[in-house]
Structure 1
């Protein structure tokens, strides 16, 4: 890996953006590497959770300037292909069957906010700043918008998409974009606490619960949706881990996925 570092230990994979000299701005290499790594981790049965982290003072400054210079001369077709790769990377993170925790240790701008929004749980230091800066450059946050709008809601997105204002971790927490805001000293501990909770649960149930939220969110409550949720609970109850979980609870013992 040219732009990432990967560590796997105790059922946890930590994927770290590793270009601190450019504030972890991403380019086509970063996009390809993140996509490949998350696809590999998705199929690794020994992994229960993934942490997306970064080295250096910034989490991610968005697009790399040299990459942006190249894009300035792209044709429409080349821009479509390039944006398609970014979209594929974001969707790979979002659709990963393993829970993904974003560990935000510093500023997060533009496309970096897309990376974070594609994760399931976001923990940020209280000193981090956030910004959707695209309109300052005559651009729009189009590719990241499905994930950012889901994360912060339409009202907040409407404001920050068009003002490009920088906002604090506290504001990101208020909008729902960030789940936990902690001091720098408490960041590792809070992430470890969340990872421990994730790894204590049924791997299959966590996978299905993550998919459940994605399938049900923003849908109208119709007979078809109700039927789908009924089918979902019937299937999970009959699953191997579902049966084991209930048995272990009734027998007052740990389930076998903790062994």
Structure 2
């Protein structure tokens, strides 16, 4: 029998779709957990789940009080990647329809990438293909020690196209080429070395504890500064360190210093009190 953790190309029997494809839970302190809820399909991505994730990301983008967004999968499995039944269906469509379908996935990943809050993937079981792309599109990720990753698309005669910008940004182009071309399944230790994840924990209980810890850590950070810090990295990436870039980075820190969060944060530090945003 095939191991569903080690083998990303295992087709499961279809089940009736549920309306609750993405569960959203939030704490009073602004920690939001999005849970992909197709456990019987190992949270495989189809058009409905992609649409539900896109809707959730767009909702969170404009929501007040959100400080951190955690993304995980139901049933101790992050995501097995693309649903093979979905792949079979779209393979019969013309190229123009396939292009629109794939563009929906691309837009969903960009909506995740563009969230102004810290985004954290919590990986149990496996993250293959589009699931690994979701991990790469988050700001950071924590995985259990037994988690597995991979990009199996070439084994199906396909390519990991829509996830490629985020994976290459996370692990670099050379590592991405090697993993894309080989379809190699790799473990959490290798994912950590590559930079696809930022931390390994023992098991699911430790993953829950790490989530609680990160929620507490981000509560001490100014939400506007978090968004600006993320935008800063995106804006400087690939630019030469020249006079225009130096002046732009100087302008940004100057704006932050005289802004309300900068004034409050520095004042709170000097007065040995918590800033207004800390809980």
TM-score normalised over the length of structure 2: 0.90
Paired residue total: 259
| Partner SS, residue 250 of structure 2 | helix
Task: List 4+ stretches of structure 1 deviating above 4 A.
Answer: none
User: Using the alignment, how far apart are the partners of 1:129 and 1:218 within structure 2?
Assistant: 30
Establish whether residue 43 from structure 1 lines up as the match of residue 86 from structure 2.
no
Q: Does 1:122 align with 2:162?
A: no
Q: Secondary structure at the match of 2:44?
A: coil
| Cα distance in 2, alignment partners of residues 78 and 145 from structure 1 | 21
Q: In structure 2, what is the Cα distance between the partners aligned to 1:218 and 1:134?
A: 28
Structure 1 position 152 matched with structure 2 position 171: yes
**Out of 105, 115, 119, which is 2:124 matched to?**
105
Correspondent of 2:214 among 183, 194, 197: 194
Unaligned runs of 5+ in 2: 1-18
List alignment gaps of at least 5 residues for structure 1.
none
Map Cα deviations across residues 115-158 of structure 1 (whole Å, 9 max, x no partner).
Answer: 11110110000101111101101111111000011111122112
Equivalent residue number for residue 26 of structure 2: 8
Q: For 1:28-39, list aligned pairs within 5 A.
A: 28-39=47-58
Bigger fraction of residues in helix: 1
The answer on 1:237 being equivalent to 2:262 is: no
Give 1:222 shift.
2.1
2:196 pairs with one of 165, 170, 177: 177
Q: Tell me the SS of whatever aligns to 1:197.
A: helix
Q: CA deviation at 1:219?
A: 2.3
Q: Separation in 2 of the partners of 1:167 and 1:182?
A: 16
Equivalent residue of 1:171, what SS? helix
User: Residue 25 of structure 2: SS of its match in structure 1?
Assistant: strand
Residue 217 (structure 1) shift = 2.3
Q: Deviations over 1:198-228 (max 9, x none)?
A: 1211111111111111112232212222122
Distance 2:97 2:243 in 1: 44
Distance 2:218 2:257 in 1: 20
